[in-house]
Structure 1
Amino acid sequence: MDHVLNNKDFEDYDISVVMSFYKKMKDFRRVLPVNAPYFQRNGLEVIIALDEPTECEELIEFIKEYPDINWRIIVNSKEHEWRNPCKAWNVGIRHATKKYILVVDPECEFLTDVVYHLKYAAELYGNYFYTGRVAFVDYAYKAGPHTEKTQKFSNYGSFLTKKEHIEKVSGYTEAFNIWGGEDDNLRAKLTHIGVLKAEVATALILHREDETDGAVSRAGKTLALPPELLNKAFAPDEQDFINPNWGRDFEEIRYDYLKLID
């Protein structure tokens, strides 16, 4: 495995890492100690779109243990049941200040230097969106040199592209209200405007869960979406590209490194 992690490779990473966060404190506490060194870089900010308020104070106290990371937290003050993360992701993207957007889940653990590998590809090849690879494992799994060969990885581990590309397609389509489909829809929209997919095989992530159903089961769940959402996932219609209010579902900023440095 190739763990690059050298802050001198780029003087300015110019990346906003965006996470949708719904009752993920237990998972986030487990994986951040591994991921934190990758986030402590020049020109990188981590934006958490916290899609309900009950874990806000705990989250703020926890991130203060990592003062070398440039954090921003935007909070939805309304309590609600779990929903598709598309609206929260859009909130984070709209608040992002950097050239590139890197979307990851708060329960994802970096097996390699995902930030570096995706940034390196972006600087080399330009007009693409870039995907890493993910393996679904539980928290008992011990990663090591064997992991890449023994685990099944699929090309959904992470997503990086220029913010301007996402803006051109009005972000994630917010019509998705149940699990699945929003990732494929965004990728299809980008492809439609000429931003093509590039797979970065060295950007490896472990998606950790207490009980994991794996990539095969997730693919089956996607195919089980209602027909109108399944069609929208892979063949976006004209309305999917038009939403002037994308990313405005909530906007309360509760923690902002930009204000701390003013």
Structure 2
Amino acid sequence: MADPQTAGPHAFVCGHPIAHSRSPLIHGHWLAVHQIPGSYERIDVAPLDFEPFLRGIAEAGFAGGNVTLPHKEAAFHLVGRRDTAAEMIGAVNTLWFEGATLCGGNTDAYGYAAHLDASAPHWRNGRTAVVLGAGGAARAIIHALQEAGYKDVRIVNRTLDRATELTLRFGGGTSAHGWQELPVLLASADLLVNTSALGMTGKPPLEIALEPLPDHAIVSDIVYAPLRTDLLAVAEARGLATVDGLGMLLHQAAPGFERWFGVRPAVTDALRSHVLADLGNGA
């Protein structure tokens, strides 16, 4: 339940586990910057408790909230209305009310595109992308790429069937490939994006040769712990433009904040430094 002693709108992030979430850092920073009396809190919700939790958030005093693993697909099925991005991606990460109707959206694709717009705006000139991984994050990235006009999206996954499933979801312009095809696929790519957990702290490394990439290619990694992944380090050594994963996390939070608190916040260097300090502490 939202703290009745705290004035203003109340929002949350729920997941299981949830202690690792940086969302309270982001929204807490914006609440302070805009001097908004409100709150944003972590709530650990086990899978069996998620539906009753969702049914009770209005009564508990919340204007809405964020949904993270493992609840994004469950939220997709439980909300009364979904935005276009959620429909395409098949998952909900942001909740809000329109009257009495609980609505769900997905801001991950927006967050990815907004971060690239800020960090490498020429990415929209590209038409061919190689996407590593075929999980939930890949769905958001593929949607962002198609919205930006990419006509050739090559999905690469060690389990080819999962990549094929995404081509059936996203249709024309997408293709499924095994890992062994990477050298040929990279040779004409404008953008390479890692959506897998490979290279993340505590996970196996992502080991691919970037020599085939054209000199104009952009290399993007949605992993943000570590911030400078091995993939980005190798790309930088080759002189390629790189985009880290932290900005996607920051930008995807902005639409929800605006819905709950009525102000469109900016992703600033101060916010980035605030979250980086926490990442450095391993919190």
TM over 0.5: no
Q: Which one has the largest radius of gyration?
A: 2
Structure with bigger helix share is 2
TM-score between both structures, scaled by the size of structure 2: 0.30
TM-score between both structures, scaled by the size of structure 1: 0.32
Structure with bigger strand share is 1
